Amino acid sequence: GLDDADNRLGGALVLTFAVTLATAIVLAVWSYRTTSNGQTRGARVSPGLAAGGWFIPIGWYFVSFSQLRKAMGGRGDAAAVGWWQGLWVVATVASGVALQLFDDDLDQTPSEVSDGLRNQSVGLVVATVLLAAATIFAMRALRAVDDPTSGP
Q: Profile the chain (152 residues) by mean pLDDT over runs of 10 residues.
A: 70 79 87 91 93 91 92 80 91 83 70 78 84 84 76 52
| Percentages of the chain per state (helix, strand, coil), in multiples of 5 | 80, 0, 20
Helices (H) and strands (E) in the chain, counts: 5, 0
pLDDT of residue 122: 83
Picking from 15, 12, 22, 13, the residue whose alpha carbon sits closest to that of residue 138 is 22
pLDDT of residue 113: 75
